[in-house]
Amino acid sequence: MTAPKASTRAMAPNPTAGDGGSAHAAATVPVVAVDGPAASGKGTIAEGVAAVLRFHRLDSGALYRLVAWRALESATPLDDAPALAALARLDARFDADRVTAGGHDVTAALRGEDVSAAASRVAVHPAVRAALTERQRAFRRPPGLVADGRDMGTVIFPDARLKVFVTASPAERAARRHKQLIAKGISVTLESLLREIEARDARDAGRSAAPLAAAPDAVTLDTTGVAPGASIAAVLELCRARGIEPARE
Ligand code: CDP
């Protein structure tokens, strides 16, 4: 899928910080929050919806993955919350589909399964989540934002115009992730992926800080056996029902 024009994103400091006027303006920018467990299809849905709406996109998992990757690279213990929070505050760039850190393109490195597991371990720390909160909110810019993750609708954008909670059976999620990783030349077995996904779900849903959960006002979308295009169409229909229309070119 081609990246939408509006998707060029830099991890800039929060443009609204300390500026009440533009903070108010940002709050009126529509947000579509797409949350759900590992490999539920939320990233594919968010990407497709953002492309049609010509909205910006935030893949919030990439921020946690980047902290995890930095921790693994620097041998920072995954339970050292202050050190991990310092890593979360380091600069990085998110341009269309590429992530650049320290001058290196780390896009592929972030998708490894070692990084997935470490990401859910760094994500349990409130200090790490706090260090990333304003960075995530800074992605909210006109004409709109589609954000995917675990706590987009519950914590980061509680006033999102539309909240969708995407689910799918664990077996189907493992099969999807297996296909994605094999296509990228990463070798991994289906059984180990299923175990990893279930362990990550349990950790993400069981933590006390911003656990994986559907917001009370979220629409649940079960994508088991549903093609990506149909899920994207379903979310676009929900957008239309809430007055969220594609931005003009
Ligand atoms: O793509 P996948 O669902 O496998 O993972 P991801 O969205 O890239 O997120 C990786 C990990 O980051 C998750 O297992 C969560 O522990 C954490 N995460 C989080 O805590 N909050 C978010 N908003 C996004 C990700």
The whole-number pLDDT of residue 153 equals 97
The confidence score (pLDDT) of residue 215 equals 96
Q: What is the Å distance from ligand 1's center to 34 Cα?
A: 12
Residue having the nearest C-alpha atom to atom 8 of ligand 1: 61
Q: CB–CB of 93/10 below 8 Å?
A: yes
Residue 120 in contact with ligand 1 by CB distance below 6 A: yes
Tokens read off for 98 = 């590429």
In short, whether 65's Cβ falls inside 6 Å of ligand 1 is yes
Backbone angles phi, psi at 239, to 5 degrees: -60, -50
Which string of DSSP letters, residue by residue, matches 180-192? HHHHTT----HHH
Nearest CA to ligand 1 atom 10: 61
d(CA 153, CA 214): 8
Residue 135, classed as helix, strand or coil, is helix
CA 178 to chain centre: 19
All structural domains of the chain with their residue ranges: 29-224
Name the pairing type of β-strands 162-167 and 219-222: parallel
Query: Alpha-carbon dihedral of residues 21, 128, 42, 239, nearest 10 degrees?
Result: -20
Mean confidence (pLDDT) of the chain: 89
Residue 88, token pair as written in the block: 């979360």
Q: Is the CB of 136 under 6 A from ligand 1?
A: no
Give the burial string for 59-69 (b: 16+ CB within 10 Å, else e).
bbbbbbbbbbb
The pLDDT assigned to 26 comes to: 67
Give the pair of three-digit tokens for residue 206: 């069981």
Going from the Cα of 248 to the center of ligand 1, the distance in angstroms, rounded, reads 31
CA of residue 19 to ligand 1 center, whole Å:
30
pLDDT of residue 185: 86
Look at residue 8 in the predicted model and tell me its pLDDT: 32
State residue 197's pLDDT score.
Answer: 93
Would the CB of 47 count as within 6 Å of ligand 1?
no
Residue 166 corresponds to which tokens in the numbers above? 């995407």
Report residue 159 as tokens: 């006033």
- Distance, in Å, from the CA atom of 100 to the CA atom of 144, rounded to the nearest integer, reads 23
Assign 141 to helix, strand or coil.
coil
Residue numbers of the chain with a pLDDT score lower than 50: 1-21
Cα 27 from chain centroid (whole Å): 20
pLDDT (0 to 100) of residue 12: 38
Residue 121 CB less than 6 A away from ligand 1? no
CB of 150 sitting under 6 A from ligand 1 = yes
| Sole residue written with tokens 């954008």 | 157
Three-state DSSP class for residue 119: helix
Tell me how crowded residue 82 is: count the other CB atoms within 10 A of its CB: 9
CATH class for the domain made up of 29-224? alpha beta
The CA 69 to ligand 1 mean position distance, Å, reads 13
pLDDT tens figures, 62-110: 999 999 999 999 999 999 999 999 999 999 998 877 899 989 999 999 9
Phi, psi (deg, nearest 5) at residue 11: -80, 70
d(CA 214, CA 151): 8
